[in-house]
């Protein structure tokens, strides 16, 4: 096993009524709270009023920070950081999904910095150490953002959707009933994002057979697949929503990554697709994954065959390559079954989009079993159209 460091700074309150923990948590911090969220749906569903009531009853002064978009922009981060400084915000409460939480993680860091955090992280490779404390109430589950300090931010002028490092949440409220306030399509694409996180970790190195992290990944993947199937039959199923919400956190809280060098080549491609098209993250991943895996599974046949056997229940075929391919096709069939798109055209992405620019600006990762060239990335994108 590779050497690793593991720490776990976020306290999780999970289950029905978990929001009751916000008040005692906020008693630890100052008076002024930035209430950050996305679109108007939070107000329509009543969640906004519920949280505002908790904050008001706790004697907090609330500073509203609405309008955080699905692919949060660097400009939005700067707007939030300016607001935090101007209003003397003591605590940031992010309410929503990964986009809102990611934006707030970087707002929290930028508000404490004199210099521009994008330049600091991307050019100087230095990372922030001081933060405005923050917490999260998760409504849209899938990114697992609530339990780590990573953030994905789109720099619109530079056309880069890139990973950044920001604050950890000091606490996260995960109430599966809140996922009922999110459109069902987003629940499924969020759950597929979770499956993608587990796959991209599982297919990272090393590929040893006795790797505990990989065994846990397989359990997470099987659980996500089974519970998506339950939800497709019964949209309101609380147990399935609970399992998916915890699987989302599990996939990104670092446990699956222990001892691993992760792959995340599919995410890198999707990020640049998102930078150019502002597409839905889970849907972009659903289109790219099978195409990418068809390109590489022959080079990692043993691992892909293990995936086929242990995740999809496929019996061994004549060769490891054939078993591996059957696993990738089982994934593609499941994507269809879940009602997720199988092409960029189905996603409504203009096929004349500059795929070459997307391929050329995509980070090449260490790869799971085959390091891809830019030409291959372009071929993969063209096959996704």
Tokens, residue 237: 């199923």
User: What are the phi and psi torsion angles at 96 (to 5°)?
Assistant: 150, -145
In the complex, minimum distance from the CB of residue 266 to Zn ion, in angstroms, rounded to a whole number: 9
Residue closer to Zn ion by CB (options 121, 193) is 193
Report if residue 175 touches Zn ion, rule: CB under 5 A.
no
Residue closer to Zn ion by CB (options 65, 264) is 264
Strand order in the sheet with 171-174: 11-14, 171-174, 134-138, 91-96, 32-36, 61-65
In the complex, minimum distance from the CB of residue 264 to Zn ion, in angstroms, rounded to a whole number: 9
Residue closer to Zn ion by CB (options 102, 193) is 193
Cis peptide before 206 (omega within 30 of 0): yes
Q: Which stretch binds Zn ion (CB under 5 A): 72-80, 179-187, 189-197, 310-318?
A: 189-197
Residue closer to Zn ion by CB (options 146, 193) is 193
Q: Give the total of residues touching Zn ion (CB under 5 A).
A: 1
Q: Which stretch binds Zn ion (CB under 5 A): 63-71, 192-200, 233-241, 348-356?
A: 192-200
Residue closer to Zn ion by CB (options 193, 243) is 193
Residue nearest to Zn ion (CB): 193
Nearest to 151 by CA among 92, 101, 96: 101
In the complex, minimum distance from the CB of residue 270 to Zn ion, in angstroms, rounded to a whole number: 8
Burial of 357 (0-12, 13-18, 19+ CB in 10 A): middle
In the complex, minimum distance from the CB of residue 41 to Zn ion, in angstroms, rounded to a whole number: 21
Q: Per-residue DSSP letters for 119-153?
A: HHHHTS---------EEEEESS-SS-GGGSSEEEE
Report if residue 193 touches Zn ion, rule: CB under 5 A.
yes
CA–CA gap between residue 137 and residue 128 (Å, rounded): 23
Q: Which stretch binds Zn ion (CB under 5 A): 3-11, 126-134, 188-196, 302-310?
A: 188-196
Sign, CA dihedral 345-348-352-355, equals negative
In the complex, minimum distance from the CB of residue 203 to Zn ion, in angstroms, rounded to a whole number: 15
In the complex, minimum distance from the CB of residue 189 to Zn ion, in angstroms, rounded to a whole number: 10
In the complex, minimum distance from the CB of residue 119 to Zn ion, in angstroms, rounded to a whole number: 25
Residue closer to Zn ion by CB (options 198, 377) is 198
Residue closer to Zn ion by CB (options 151, 330) is 151
Place of tokens 């100052």: 30
Residue closer to Zn ion by CB (options 193, 214) is 193
In the complex, minimum distance from the CB of residue 353 to Zn ion, in angstroms, rounded to a whole number: 21
Q: Which stretch binds Zn ion (CB under 5 A): 2-10, 185-193, 301-309, 350-358?
A: 185-193
Q: Which stretch binds Zn ion (CB under 5 A): 191-199, 203-211, 317-325, 362-370?
A: 191-199
Residue 95 β-bridge partners: 137
Report if residue 146 touches Zn ion, rule: CB under 5 A.
no
Residue closer to Zn ion by CB (options 262, 361) is 262
In the complex, minimum distance from the CB of residue 230 to Zn ion, in angstroms, rounded to a whole number: 22
In the complex, minimum distance from the CB of residue 145 to Zn ion, in angstroms, rounded to a whole number: 9
Residues composing the chain: 385
Residue closer to Zn ion by CB (options 60, 257) is 257
Helix residue ranges per DSSP H, the chain: 22-26, 41-44, 47-57, 74-87, 98-110, 117-122, 184-202, 212-233, 238-252, 265-277, 281-296, 301-312, 320-337, 344-347, 355-361, 374-384
Q: Which residues contact 188 (CB under 8 A, 6 or more apart)?
A: 228, 231, 232, 282, 338, 339, 340
Q: What is the 3-state secondary structure (H, E, C) of 226-249?
A: HHHHHHHHCCCCHHHHHHHHHHHH
CA distances for 347 relative to 171, 182, 344, angstroms: 35, 19, 5
Query: Contact residues for Zn ion (CB under 5 A)?
Result: 193
């Amino acid at each position: 096993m590779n050497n690793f460091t593991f720490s776990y700074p976020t306290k999780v309150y999970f289950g029905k009524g978990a929001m009751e923990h916000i008040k005692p948590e906020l008693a630890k911090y100052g008076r002024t709270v930035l209430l950050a969220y996305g679109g108007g749906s939070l107000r329509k569903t009543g969640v906004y009023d519920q949280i505002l009531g908790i904050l008001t009853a706790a004697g907090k002064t609330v500073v509203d920070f609405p309008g955080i978009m699905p692919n949060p922009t660097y400009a939005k981060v700067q707007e939030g950081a300016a607001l935090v400084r101007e209003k003397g915000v003591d605590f940031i409460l992010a309410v929503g999904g990964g986009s809102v939480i990611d934006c707030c993680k970087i707002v929290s860091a930028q508000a404490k910095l004199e210099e521009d955090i994008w330049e600091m992280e991307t050019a100087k490779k230095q990372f922030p150490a001081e933060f405005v404390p923050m917490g999260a109430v998760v409504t849209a589950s899938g990114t697992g953002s609530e339990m780590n300090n990573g953030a994905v931010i789109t720099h619109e002028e530079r056309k880069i959707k890139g990973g950044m490092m920001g604050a950890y949440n000091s606490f996260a409220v995960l109430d599966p009933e809140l996922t009922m306030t999110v459109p069902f399509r987003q629940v499924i694409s969020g759950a597929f994002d979770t499956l993608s996180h587990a796959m991209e970790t599982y297919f990272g190195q090393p590929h040893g057979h006795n790797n505990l992290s990989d065994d846990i990944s397989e359990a997470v993947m099987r659980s996500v697949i089974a519970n998506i199937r339950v939800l497709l039959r019964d949209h309101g199923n609380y147990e399935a929503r609970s399992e998916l919400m915890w699987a989302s956190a599990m996939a990104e809280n670092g446990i699956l990554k222990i001892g691993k060098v992760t792959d995340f080549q599919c995410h890198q491609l999707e990020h640049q697709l998102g930078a150019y098209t502002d597409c839905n993250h889970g849907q972009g991943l659903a289109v790219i994954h099978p195409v990418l895996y068809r390109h590489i599974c022959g080079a990692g046949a043993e691992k892909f065959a293990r995936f086929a056997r242990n995740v999809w229940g496929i019996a061994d075929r004549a060769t490891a390559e054939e078993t591996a391919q059957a696993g990738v096709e089982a994934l593609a069939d499941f994507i269809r079954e879940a009602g997720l798109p199988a092409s960029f055209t189905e996603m409504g992405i203009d096929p004349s989009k500059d795929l070459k620019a997307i391929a050329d600006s995509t980070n090449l990762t260490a790869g799971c079993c085959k390091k891809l060239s830019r030409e291959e990335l372009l071929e993969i994108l063209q096959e996704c159209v």
